[in-house]
Chain A
Amino acid sequence: MKFRCERDVLVEALGAAGRAVANRGGALPVLSGVRAELEGDRLRLTGSDLELTIAVDITVAGSADGLAVLPSRVATDVVRSLDSGSVEVSVEGDEAHITSGRFQSAIRVLPADEFPRLAQPTDDAVTLAAADFAEALHQVVPAASADDARPILTGVLMAAEGHGLRLVATDSYRLAVRDLPGASILREGQSVLVPSRALRELERLLGGAAEVTLRLGEREATFEVGGVRLTTRLIEGEFPNYRGLIPVSHPNRLTVGREALAEAVRRVKLMAREPNTPVRLGMSSDGLELIAITQDVGQAHEQLDADYAGTELTVAFNPDYLLNGVEVTPGDEIVLDTVDAQKPAVIRANGGNEFLYLLMPVRVS
């Protein structure tokens, strides 16, 4: 195998594929490497930890086809250290030579025949606007749980809903639901559970892209953005029945400017210093008052203009969860629907119904 290409192109490709490379390879040492396959002028770089696989295609000046697994960390560090310009990579025997200008290096490669075979996706493909899908991920993925003790909640549910696609995530304290109407990708009633880790990686790849192609299979989901293909194993299991959690009636409705609320929460939460300290929202016909108090530290409150219909009520929330929801809700105004201080509250865009953020209060006694 032998090719020549631009240092910047190769750095970016190695970096993207490297994000799926297992730390130290785990059980399979070859997985600490990036698989490089050259056919003509097309170089495909693949990193995988068996759960997540990222393959990047770039165009290079090829002079000899071949296949090798380069140790990801070393190869990436070496190429990144080079000045911009042309880099030559050639593999002979068990050494890869990376050469640029007067710099030469020889790196021991990993056994290519041990690299697991990765299946080609065969499922039906649907192409969506990258910006819409990126926005949906930005709204939903943060609500997924980071706690591996409950693997189901670390996933994002993608389900057929009406004539579109619905994304749902919850960490059991809040729930985010986003509809992408018209994106009919799954059969009615079909759903998949995609690891949020894979979707975070996908979000990084979507920036600046025009389109994303989705293939949702039985065991794997594949996303293609430009020359990058991301494949992830799906999470098996039953996602909680989230529909039953969304309150059907809302006796109390607050309507408030989104940015004003977000800024006020950011300021007031500075006085919620302990992990469990909430921000209290006092809602009345006078508007909205935010209060945070930490014993022996201090307190802050701020009054906001807001429309409120309902009985006078104070509800306490984890300030970060509240802020997350407010920040990702679209539009200039949001509505906050509440039942009482113990029941889930719902945040939506005023007049919009494509995104919903459900949030459990903090009990204060």
Chain B
Amino acid sequence: MTVAPRAEAPEPSILHVDMDAFFVSVELLRRPELRGHPVVVGGTGDRGVVAAASYEARAYGIHSAMPSTRARRQCPHAVFLPGDHAHYGEVSARVMEIFRSYTPLVEPISLDEAFLDVRAARRLHGSGVEIAHELRQQVADHEGLTCSVGVAPVKFLAKLASEAAKPHASLEGTRAGHGVVVIEVGHELAFLHPLPVQALWGVGPATLTRLERLGVRTVGDLAEMPLDTVIGTLGAASGRHLHALAHGIDPRAVVPDQAPKSIGHEETFARDHHHAADLQRELLRMADAVASRLRRHHLAGRTVTLKVRFGDFRTITRSSTLPGPVDSSNTIGRAARTLLDGVDPAPGVRLLGVSVSQLVDGGTRQLRLDEADGPDWDGAEQAVDAIRARFGASAVVPAALAGPDGIRVKRRGDQQWGPDDRASGPTRPAD
């Protein structure tokens, strides 16, 4: 009898790290007195939505994307905080840096979530499980934040595992989570098959209804269905994909930080705007912010897109492609303004967005002949960038944005979840 040499036992090496109640936890670091109370971060005005809820607030059924007014009804004693996206972004960047100290293969999904592939890091840092525990410790030590980590052989299982590792909220109190949940190689199906089928990525309400009609309730049920039946019900692409997931197969690789495809801003207004002049002012503010961000990332783009959502939630987008890539407030504002001129604001505009796509390296830019004469916008905007870098985003703005009461600038994520109470007036304090 011959014995094959024992290969190194395969270990799960995909990590999904999910920060626990990230926005709220970051706020609580600044306001420790609120710890243990139901806290909600998001748009605090009438039309805002919840961006994040503390576990204490979740016990009242509050969850993200819920209208703030409903959250208030469900938990009137909750503390509502306006979002500070810029600050969350800074904390997130530091947390992602900690992840990158273990492996370059970090794929951020959002500010508070990322996949890591640590296969190549095991020799240096130990097994996936060891790295998971170490990561949690590092994030806690450096940022005072907790996170949950799923460790599995493939991406979607790692995400399910981190979900299982989460703290649990109830009215009796928050039960600490496992922190790290591991799905070992060979145990995938044992973990996966008892789960309800909607635990799979890509099973929304519509898909769920169709699967229930086939008698599919658990992932195991789906795995037992013949592939042809699943395809017949869900279509080829979706059917094949979900069937593979149900068998624990997920070929997607962890793709590190991709260059952005577009850069943009959008904002829901406190009240619907009916007048072109108001919208033009908002638009200029957004164009200025988008241009500023493009330049900060050394990018320029050719396509300017305007998004308009009306009071009845009807949403339109209009784009225009320019002869060459641009990164100036002036040109982006002008292009967006031309697009806005084609839109009738009379029904009331609820949300406006400006984005720039078809991005190229903005460090070098072919100048246009019509820029040779006239004001030196490039020079002016470089000066604006320098001032903002030193004194903050509201230190200098286009004159049209200055009113008798002060100035407003657009910051990333500012009121992305709907306007705050205080935003009804035009003044925003500087950072």
Q: Which of B364, B373, B378 has the most CB of A within 10 A?
A: B364
A240 to B371 alpha-carbon distance, docked (Å): 13
Once A175-B369, A358-B369 are accepted as A-B contacts, the answer to whether A363 and B378 lie under 8 Å apart by CB is yes
Once A149-B321, A150-B323, A172-B323 are accepted as A-B contacts, the answer to whether A316 and B364 lie under 8 Å apart by CB is yes
> Quick check: B364 and A277 within 8 Å, CB to CB?
yes
A interface size (C-beta, 8 A): 30
> Quick check: B369 and A342 within 8 Å, CB to CB?
no
> Quick check: A344 and B365 within 8 Å, CB to CB?
no
Report chain A residues within 8 Å CB of B360.
275-276
With both chains docked as a complex, state the minimum distance between the C-beta of B69 and any C-beta of chain A, in angstroms.
Answer: 45
Report chain B residues within 8 Å CB of A150.
323
Interface string of B353-366 (1 = CB under 8 A from A): 00000001101111
Closest 6 CB pairs of A and B: A360-B367, A363-B365, A276-B364, A172-B368, A362-B366, A364-B364
Known: A149-B323, A276-B365, A363-B364; 15 extra A-B contacts, CB below 8 A, are A145-B323, A172-B323, A172-B368, A172-B369, A173-B367, A175-B369, A244-B373, A274-B361, A277-B364, A318-B366, A342-B378, A362-B366, A363-B365, A364-B364, A365-B363
A278 to B367 alpha-carbon distance, docked (Å): 12
- What are 10 A-B pairs at a CB distance below 8 A? A147-B323, A150-B323, A172-B324, A172-B368, A173-B368, A245-B370, A277-B364, A318-B366, A362-B366, A365-B364
With both chains docked as a complex, state the minimum distance between the C-beta of A128 and any C-beta of chain B, in angstroms.
Answer: 29
> Quick check: A245 and B373 within 8 Å, CB to CB?
yes
Within 8 A of B (CB), among A165-214: 170-175
Report chain A residues within 8 Å CB of B371.
360
Interface string of A305-339 (1 = CB under 8 A from B): 00000000000101000000000000000000000
Interface string of B306-326 (1 = CB under 8 A from A): 000000000000000101110
Asked if B237 CB lies within 8 Å of chain A CBs, one says no
Asked if A343 CB lies within 8 Å of chain B CBs, one says yes
Asked if A142 CB lies within 8 Å of chain B CBs, one says no
> Quick check: A342 and B323 within 8 Å, CB to CB?
no
Residues of A within 8 A of B (CB): 145, 147, 149-150, 170-175, 240, 244-245, 274-278, 316, 318, 342-344, 358, 360-365
Contact of B367 among A145, A170, A244, A342 (CB under 8 A): A342
A145 to B369 alpha-carbon distance, docked (Å): 13
B interface size (C-beta, 8 A): 19
Residues of B within 8 A of A (CB): 298, 321, 323-325, 360-361, 363-373, 378
Report chain A residues within 8 Å CB of B321.
149
Once A145-B323, A149-B323, A172-B323 are accepted as A-B contacts, the answer to whether A360 and B361 lie under 8 Å apart by CB is no
With both chains docked as a complex, state the minimum distance between the C-beta of A146 and any C-beta of chain B, in angstroms.
Answer: 10
> Quick check: A173 and B364 within 8 Å, CB to CB?
no
A318 to B373 alpha-carbon distance, docked (Å): 20
Report chain B residues within 8 Å CB of A364.
363-364
Chain A residue at minimal CB-CB distance from B324: A173
> Quick check: A173 and B366 within 8 Å, CB to CB?
yes
With both chains docked as a complex, state the minimum distance between the C-beta of A112 and any C-beta of chain B, in angstroms.
Answer: 41
With both chains docked as a complex, state the minimum distance between the C-beta of A83 and any C-beta of chain B, in angstroms.
Answer: 49
> Quick check: B369 and A170 within 8 Å, CB to CB?
yes
Contact of A360 among B363, B366, B378 (CB under 8 A): B366
A172 to B371 alpha-carbon distance, docked (Å): 9
> Quick check: A362 and B369 within 8 Å, CB to CB?
no
Report chain B residues within 8 Å CB of A318.
366
A244 to B324 alpha-carbon distance, docked (Å): 22
Once A172-B323, A173-B366 are accepted as A-B contacts, the answer to whether A343 and B361 lie under 8 Å apart by CB is no
Report chain B residues within 8 Å CB of A362.
364-367
Chain B residue at minimal CB-CB distance from A318: B366
With both chains docked as a complex, state the minimum distance between the C-beta of A252 and any C-beta of chain B, in angstroms.
Answer: 16
With both chains docked as a complex, state the minimum distance between the C-beta of A235 and any C-beta of chain B, in angstroms.
Answer: 17
Report chain A residues within 8 Å CB of B363.
364-365
